[in-house]
Amino acid sequence: MSGFPRELFIDGKFVTGAGKRTAQIDPATEETFCEVEAASAVDVDRAVSSAQRAFESTWRDRAPGKRADVLFKIAHSIRQHAEAIAQLESRNIGKPISDARDEVALGARIFEFYAGAVTKFGGQVIPVARGGLDFTLRQPMGVVAAIVPWNFPFPIGCWKAAPALAAGNCVVLKPAGQSPLSALMLGQVAAEAGLPPGVLQVVPGSGSEAGDTLVRHPLVRKISFTGSTEVGKRIMELAARDLKRVSLELGGKSPNIVFADADLELAAASSPMSVFANTGQDCCARSRVFVERSAFDRFVEKFIGATKDLRVGEPSNEATQLGPLVSAIQRNASEEFITESKRAGRRLALGGNRPQPRGYFLEPTVLLDVEPGDRVWREEVFGPVVCIRPFDNEEQMLREVNASPYGLSGSIWTNDLKRALRVARRVESGVLSINSHASVHVEAPFGGFKQSGLGRDLGMAALEGYTELKNVYIAD
């Protein structure tokens, strides 16, 4: 694994920056396996200026069908390099290789979706009272800063870049310091596919320098951010100074609600991966499980049985379902939640240990008897820790579900259709699944209520979010 980019991707080329580098640590071995250029404020300014030039000189005025042609080619190029991108992603963040392959394929489908969508996305003709012809245009904004986290770097990078580019914007993509490699590969494949220089820039670097410079940059018109609620709030405050557009996909503490009349076998068999997939580092993780009391013991027994069957191990192994956490910091933070819960007398029903001495591994962990005031019940763990609590009454359960400041996703398990719809309407979340845990569909809007975010990724909603709406009136 030697031939992969490690420099900044600016103006269609890989270039060295001001000289800072970030060590990339393989979370499965704890060893540094490469160093990657980290963009300074000057580098970011260069990237934004180049993006602005590309916007004015080529991309803004390129016909939608011509933009679509390039996006289809990027999808094709992603598929051609899919195995290399998946291997890099797996090594960079410890993601099981089978998941990494699925996520790269998802990235390609996202480019295809927006390549097809952009020629079906238009304005309206409005019958204004004074007569004449009134119509709306969807216009690109200019330079979009896409700031993404380390947990799903490739698909999130794609689901921000593809609709923004399709709509005619130029994009500066900033991956997280821990996960720059697949984003740099995206720059490379986009250039190979014929995307003009400057239309997509990739600037790995720290949040405090590269990220902050992007957020404050006067030429950036929109910030599309996915990450923690804390950083999201800071970005919104800074963006308010010159009214930059923002979309924020933030943290979550999503509920998994299981009624006694549900298909308990299916609910219990599928629920462990709804929280432990990606080793719990998933904004949609169903980390608060609410089970109707009459089914509680049966559900917990089956849930624990299914969790024991999960294969924790080396990310490069085809059979692995759960790899290590991304870093020592991330594992320590998860372990603190477990220690605190044990100290408070909560029941550790499974896991809680490091399964092997090397790598940032942590067993999937099940906690029972937690209280609504416990930190582990209220806060996002972002690690393989789940809490399961019984409930007696639907109203009371919904009050507890909605007591969270977050509202990203959730699941409802019942065979009573009326109840499913009633509860789905009441849960304060942007994304819900009934008798399923699927949260992300390329074609459907994805995003949160309350402190889980603002605006929507994916679906046609994302295209709207990367355009300004202009009204034009022509007199008779």
Spell out the alpha helix ranges (H) of 277-313: 293-308
Report the nearest approach of ligand NAD to the CB of residue 228 (Å). 3
Q: What does each C-alpha distance from 216 to 208, 245, 453 come to in angstroms?
A: 11, 12, 20
d(C-alpha 80, C-alpha 86), whole Å = 12
Let me know if 103 is a catalytic residue: no
Taking the least distance from each CB to ligand NAD, the nearer of 235 and 246 is 235
Cβ neighbours of 318 (radius 10 Å): 8
Token pair in block for residue 93: 């963040």
Catalytic pick among 37, 249, 292, 335: 249
Report the nearest approach of ligand NAD to the CB of residue 206 (Å). 6
Let me know if 34 is a catalytic residue: no
- Beta-strand runs (E) in 314-463: 347-350, 365-368, 385-391, 411-413, 433-434, 453-454
Taking the least distance from each CB to ligand NAD, the nearer of 146 and 420 is 146
Report the nearest approach of ligand NAD to the CB of residue 235 (Å). 6
- Residue where the block lists tokens 């670097």: 205
Give the chain's length.
Answer: 476
d(C-alpha 11, C-alpha 390), whole Å = 56
d(C-alpha 181, C-alpha 109), whole Å = 20
Q: What does each C-alpha distance from 69 to 75, 276, 443 come to in angstroms?
A: 10, 38, 19
Q: 366 near 386, Cβ under 8 Å?
A: yes
Long-range pairs, 379-382, Cβ under 8 A, ≥24:
379/253, 379/337, 380/251, 380/252, 380/253, 380/283, 380/287, 380/406, 381/280, 381/285, 381/287, 381/333, 381/334, 381/337, 382/151, 382/251, 382/280, 382/281, 382/285, 382/330, 382/333, 382/334
Which residues here bind ligand NAD, judged by CB under 6 A?
147-152, 174, 176-177, 207-208, 211-212, 215, 226-228, 231, 234-235, 249-252, 283, 380, 382, 408, 448, 453
Q: Within its chain, how far is the Cα of 436 from the centroid?
A: 19
Catalytic pick among 34, 158, 170, 283: 283
d(C-alpha 167, C-alpha 171), whole Å = 11
Taking the least distance from each CB to ligand NAD, the nearer of 168 and 207 is 207
Provide the β-strand partners of residue 125. Answer: 135
Report the nearest approach of ligand NAD to the CB of residue 215 (Å). 5
Taking the least distance from each CB to ligand NAD, the nearer of 207 and 313 is 207
Cβ neighbours of 413 (radius 10 Å): 28
Report the nearest approach of ligand NAD to the CB of residue 104 (Å). 17
Report the nearest approach of ligand NAD to the CB of residue 231 (Å). 3
Taking the least distance from each CB to ligand NAD, the nearer of 180 and 390 is 180
d(C-alpha 398, C-alpha 391), whole Å = 10
Taking the least distance from each CB to ligand NAD, the nearer of 3 and 218 is 218
Report the nearest approach of ligand NAD to the CB of residue 382 (Å). 5
d(C-alpha 222, C-alpha 201), whole Å = 15
Taking the least distance from each CB to ligand NAD, the nearer of 17 and 64 is 17
Report the nearest approach of ligand NAD to the CB of residue 453 (Å). 6
d(C-alpha 116, C-alpha 92), whole Å = 32
Taking the least distance from each CB to ligand NAD, the nearer of 251 and 315 is 251
| Catalytic site positions | 249, 283
